[in-house]
């Protein structure tokens, strides 16, 4: 069986998942989705992992979305179950406790952009294009695009992108706020790894709680969000990492956090 998810351990705290079907523009076949889910399941409980980077093989495509050649051979029920699997997979990525980065190395269309939107941060190569192109195929985004894109860039621009179904350049994606960093192609992974390194030097418990506070807080009122933030802050007070952070600050050295 081909390994369609290449896993690279960069450090104790940083991992890279690379979609590894460059001959098919890293499209989301059933087998790739099953392999990706297996990889995600294995890292769920990894308390030492502070950052996951997801990228694509090759220089042309991050992910072209659903595997349309495979899709054409499916009956109605198979299509429904596959679309649900894609949505569930992206939700699993979004729900990971540690921060995630999409390193968009090339075209990210349809489900490919939806995959990137499920990550916490996005770094995009200048040679990339992104778009939710589903309405041009007489369907709608089915992997969370109609919900995550408006939350990220606003309702009007999200509607424009989805209704027109036209890809936008990396520069436009950056200006819209789809990506947090725009870099030359050769700088993509160094930039993503630099962000991951900055993240990974911080307290693992604090990173997870901060992500939870942001994600859950945005779905509620400001008052409820502030209460949630306070409750999560209190969870950091009795950790060994908090004491280590204070001691390292006093001693003017880099802290050594253990996720405890």
**Catalytically active residues, by annotation:** 66, 111, 114, 134
Residues 127 and 184: their CA atoms lie apart, in Å, by 8
- Label the pairing between strands 168-169 and 129-131: antiparallel
The CA-based angle 79-81-86, given to 5 degrees, is: 95
The DSSP 8-state label assigned to residue 231 in this structure reads H
Pairing status of strand 61-63 against strand 107-109: parallel
Residue 169 backbone dihedrals phi, psi, to 5 degrees: -70, 165
Residue 152 sits at the vertex; the CA angle it makes with 151 and 158, to the nearest 5 degrees, is 80
């Amino acid at each position: 069986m081909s390994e369609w998810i290449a896993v690279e351990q960069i450090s104790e705290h940083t991992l890279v998942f690379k979609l590894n079907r460059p001959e098919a523009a890293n499209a989301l076949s059933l087998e790739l989705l099953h392999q990706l889910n297996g990889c995600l399941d294995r890292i769920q409980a990894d308390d030492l992992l502070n950052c996951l980077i997801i990228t694509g093989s090759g220089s042309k495509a991050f992910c072209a979305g659903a595997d349309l050649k495979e899709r054409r051979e499916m009956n109605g029920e198979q299509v429904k179950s596959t679309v649900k699997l894609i949505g569930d997979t992206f939700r699993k990525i979004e729900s990971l406790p540690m921060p995630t980065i999409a390193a968009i190395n090339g075209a990210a269309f349809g489900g490919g952009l939806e995959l990137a939107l499920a990550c916490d941060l996005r770094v995009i190569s200048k040679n990339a294009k992104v778009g939710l192109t589903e309405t041009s195929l007489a369907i709608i985004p089915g992997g969370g695009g109609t919900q995550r894109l408006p939350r990220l860039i606003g309702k009007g621009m999200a509607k424009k992108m989805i209704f027109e179904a036209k890809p936008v350049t990396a520069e436009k994606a950056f200006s819209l706020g789809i990506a947090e960093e725009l870099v030359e192609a050769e700088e993509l992974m160094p930039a993503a790894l630099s962000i991951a390194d900055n993240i990974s030097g911080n307290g693992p418990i604090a990173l997870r709680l901060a992500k939870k506070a942001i994600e859950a807080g945005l779905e509620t009122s400001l008052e409820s969000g502030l209460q949630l933030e306070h409750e999560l802050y209190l969870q950091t007070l009795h950790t060994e990492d908090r004491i280590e952070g204070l001691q390292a600050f006093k001693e003017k050295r880099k802290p050594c956090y253990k996720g405890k």
